[in-house]
Amino acid sequence: MIEFYSKANLPTRFGNFTVYVFKNEEHKDHAVLVKGDVLGKESVPVRIHSECLTGDVFGSMRCDCRDQLLTSLKMIGQGEKGILIYLRQEGRGIGLLNKIKAYNLEDEGLDTVQANVEQGLPPDARNYRFAVDVANYFKIKSIDLITNNPQKIKYLEENGIKIEKRIPIIIQPTDFDKFYLETKKDKMGHLL
């Protein structure tokens, strides 16, 4: 269950959005950027993006998170409607401290999955309940999900969200994130 707190106009380089702030049952505040009229609509383009301080803010090249975020905002901004849900679940849900520990283990030769498991953590601890609640809050009838992650698709469908289609988000790999992306594809089933 989510609780609405506030909203405001948010002009961006990608277009004009309305930013909503909600809190979930874990008392985390999450941002939802809405473009146009999505209330009760079908085939609403939706990106569910999990927080990545190192990538989104600092421009880390260890992952493709920032590129996915900016590409999604551009896609949604160019359309007449859409939603970007920014979830506060850093490091695939393990938190910033454990993510940086995982980086250290990756520097020693482990892949991103092995680095989490080495710490006694799951490879992916994210939860998409908030995204389901947002879709229900806006009474969205169906979405076009911008993702490469089959776990997002599965979770949303199992929780009553109708997905009309998946919109792939393809980012050209770099020398820094190629192994990371291969691991996501090979060990986590990402559709790259």
Are 102 and 151 in the same domain?
no
138-183 tens-digit pLDDT: 999 999 999 998 889 999 999 999 999 999 998 887 887 676 667 6
Are 71 and 112 in the same domain?
no
Are 101 and 121 in the same domain?
yes
124 annotated active-site? yes
Are 66 and 25 in the same domain?
yes
Q: Residue 73's domain is classified under what CATH number? A: 3.40.50.10990
pLDDT value at 186 more than 90: no
- Polymer length in residues for the chain: 192
Are 135 and 165 in the same domain?
yes
How many domains does the structure of the chain reveal? 2
- Two structure tokens written together for 107: 């520097």
- β-partners of residue 11 are 16
Are 121 and 139 in the same domain?
no
Catalytic hit among 56, 64, 67, 124? 124
Stretch among 63-67, 107-111, 163-167, 185-189 having the lowest mean pLDDT: 185-189
- Domain boundary at 110, 125, 140, which? 125
- Domain boundary at 81, 107, 125, which? 125
Who wins on pLDDT, 85 or 24?
A: 85
Half-sphere exposure of 76 (CA within 13 A, CB side): 33
* 118-132: average pLDDT: 92
Who wins on pLDDT, 164 or 124?
A: 164
Predicted local distance difference test score (pLDDT) of residue 180:
66
Are 121 and 136 in the same domain?
no
* Whole-number percent of the chain with pLDDT over 90: 69
Predicted local distance difference test score (pLDDT) of residue 174:
80
Q: Which residues contact 108 (CB under 8 A, 6 or more apart)?
A: none
Are 24 and 108 in the same domain?
no
Are 107 and 143 in the same domain?
no
Catalytic hit among 47, 66, 126, 144? 126
Are 152 and 77 in the same domain?
yes
* Beta-carbon count within 10 A of 63 CB: 21
Are 9 and 70 in the same domain?
yes
Are 120 and 139 in the same domain?
no
pTM value is 0.91
54-103 tens-digit pLDDT: 999 999 999 999 999 999 999 999 999 999 999 999 988 899 999 999 99
Range of the domain at 101: 95-125
pLDDT value at 23 more than 90: no
